[in-house]
Structure 1
Amino acid sequence: MRVKQVLNNSVVLGIDDSGIEVVLLGPGIGFRAAVGDRIDPSTVQRTFVPEGIGSVERLAAMVEEISIDAVTAAEEVVRLGRERLGRHVTYRVLIPLADHLGVALQRARQGAAIEYPLRSELSYLYPAELEFARQAVELLRQRTGVDLPAGEAVPIAMHFVNAQFGSDDMRDYLRITEALQQILGIIEEEYGLRFDHQSIDVARFVTHLRFLFVRNRRDPVALPEEDATRDPDTLLDTIRSARPRQYASAVRIARLLEGLFGWTVDSDEILYLCLHVARLTDTRRPAPQSPGKQE
């Protein structure tokens, strides 16, 4: 491994014998180092590759401002996140999370706190990620001795939601969250309902929508295998005739997704959306009228 570029005394860009570029961290690793010098492995504390995060230079620029302590804490949180949430959590989340944790830990030491939006939405749209993030806050307290505010679970959860959708851009999280809210709002508006956002039916619907987002953001994922004897168009026609209102809602949701994200929502997906809308609306009562409103 040789030095390609020195960022500072603790961060260098390295290149191995196969030509692969990596970012290397270690106290003094860049001190008096020059381009082309061999790197002593004993000076390397952390090695990063830009997995899905952009160029090595971008990764190095982010790492340059992050303390080793924050990186170490983030590594443990990501490792635990992979165990608790699944293998879709890759180490691409490590540097953005470490960057956030470095700032959050410093802010907590100074007694400052930030109120994050979307906390209530997280509780029903991403319950698993939020619950894990709460555990991560406690883990960070144990490892660093710093009491992070409970609200720090919100941005930590956001990082792991983004990991599911294969993104490290918080704008993607916000767009997807807003879309989920709009979809539930469409159904509540059209049927005059107010959902219990903690209910199993809402959780199933949101899970299906999240699967749809992942499927359209990543390589296509096959839907559950269908009965070879089933004609999907015939079944859709049957559902459309039996549940015209729910079918119309499913089409409206599909058009919303196409408009927001440029996706093509096929007839099979409209069928699944229709069935979910029917499940949500079959056993719900209309929303109560506002006080003072008379029939």
Structure 2
Amino acid sequence: MEIIKVFNNNVVLTENEHKQEMVVMGRGLAFQRRVGDAIDNEKVEKTFVLENQGISDKLAELLEEISEKYLLISERIITYAKSRLGASLDDYLYVALTDHLSFAISRHKQGLQLPNALTWEIKKYYKNEYHVALKALDMIEEETGIRMDDSEAASIALHLVNSQMSGDRKDEAVQVVKMVNDILSIVKYHYKMELDESSISYERFLTHLRFFAWRLIRKERTSLNNEDDFLFQQIKRQYHKAFICSEKIAAYVENTHKCAVSIDELSYLTLHIHRVTSRYEWNQNTPL
């Protein structure tokens, strides 16, 4: 096998005998190696095939920001999910889940425990995915020493559900696209900026917005009794500009789609808006 692309010192892209892209992982695998060099098979610890072209570029961009250990955890979870769900999972799950785990564990370390407002509904309607996600919590603990709560299992289950979505329910899909586009327009107008659609930050924001829109359109709502007002006030204060933007989005959703947006949803929106816009603002304010 030859190196096609170097992600970092421990992860490279190659091809198998069927000309399918394959991610190969191993400690020091790409150290002082270049494209075209042969891969040292003795250093290979993990391989997995990518069936969809183009995913490798997103993985490369993601691994510039975060450790490959999150990709390794994701690969374990996805392999297990495929064996238990008996369903086809889109390759983009490697990107989305890896990014999600990095963000979730980072939040956990900072003491930001955001409950998933739909945990009860996910347990009820997506039982198989939820059981897989509970096993994923064990894998995360084995790899990091961190035990996430059951609310995180619900979030992982949603990624598994999203990865299985096909061309069914086209009317709902159209509504999701419309809502997501409208929300993106609100963010752009509020910040008076164009978002970098090729960036991983933009991709992760889109993932969150799709989940948000699907939940609203499918009326997958939950009771508002257990919301964390203290955390909400903390986020509101710390990310005030993003919070004002999320309030505008909530007003749009309530006026256009007749759905109330909970404070938990506002908290999530605020964090994601801050994340997708902060790098742009930092670049704008940094002298050349």
With structure 2 as the length reference, what TM-score do the two structures score?
0.51
CA distance in 2, matches of 1:41, 1:148: 35
Superposition CA RMSD, Å: 3.5
CA distance in 1, matches of 2:71, 2:210: 24
CA distance in 2, matches of 1:90, 1:179: 23
Establish whether residue 179 from structure 1 lines up as the match of residue 207 from structure 2.
no
Residue matched to 1:150: 150
CA distance in 2, matches of 1:112, 1:53: 36
CA distance in 1, matches of 2:22, 2:148: 31
Residue by residue, what CA displacement relative to the aligned partner does 1:136-167 show, whole Å, maximum 9, x if unpaired?
32453355421213321221011111122159
Count of aligned pairs: 184
Unaligned runs of 5+ in 2: 168-202, 222-256, 258-288
Residue matched to 2:163: 163
Residue by residue, what CA displacement relative to the aligned partner does 1:206-257 show, whole Å, maximum 9, x if unpaired?
xxxxxxxxxxxxxxxxxxxxxxxxxxxxxxxxxxxxxxxxxxxxxxxxxxxx
Q: Secondary structure of the equivalent of 1:12?
A: strand
Residue matched to 2:130: 130
Q: Larger radius of gyration, structure 1 or 2?
A: 1
Where in structure 2 are the equivalents of 1:78-117 lying within 5 Å? 78-89=78-89, 92-117=92-117
Residue matched to 1:32: 32
CA distance in 2, matches of 1:44, 1:87: 28
CA distance in 2, matches of 1:17, 1:78: 23
CA contact (8 A) 1:62 1:95 kept: yes
CA distance in 2, matches of 1:3, 1:52: 18
CA contact (8 A) 1:23 1:60 kept: no
Establish whether residue 5 from structure 1 lines up as the match of residue 5 from structure 2.
yes
Residue by residue, what CA displacement relative to the aligned partner does 1:2-32 show, whole Å, maximum 9, x if unpaired?
2233333223333456654433332222221
Letter in 1 for 2:61: A
CA contact (8 A) 1:13 1:24 kept: yes
Mark the CA change 1:77 to 1:21 in structure 2 (over 3 Å): closer, same or farther: closer
CA contact (8 A) 1:6 1:30 kept: yes
Letter in 2 for 1:116: N
Q: Secondary structure of the equivalent of 2:7?
A: strand
CA distance in 1, matches of 2:16, 2:123: 45
Letter in 2 for 1:76: R
Where in structure 2 are the equivalents of 1:197-216 lying within 5 Å? none
CA distance in 1, matches of 2:129, 2:23: 29
What is the aligned-residue identity percentage?
31
Between 1 and 2, higher relative CO (CA 8 Å, sep ≥ 6) is seen in 2
CA distance in 1, matches of 2:144, 2:49: 26
With structure 1 as the length reference, what TM-score do the two structures score?
0.50
CA distance in 2, matches of 1:73, 1:55: 18
Residue matched to 1:119: 119
Which piece of structure 1 moves more, 116-125 or 34-43? 116-125
Unaligned runs of 5+ in 1: 185-259, 261-295
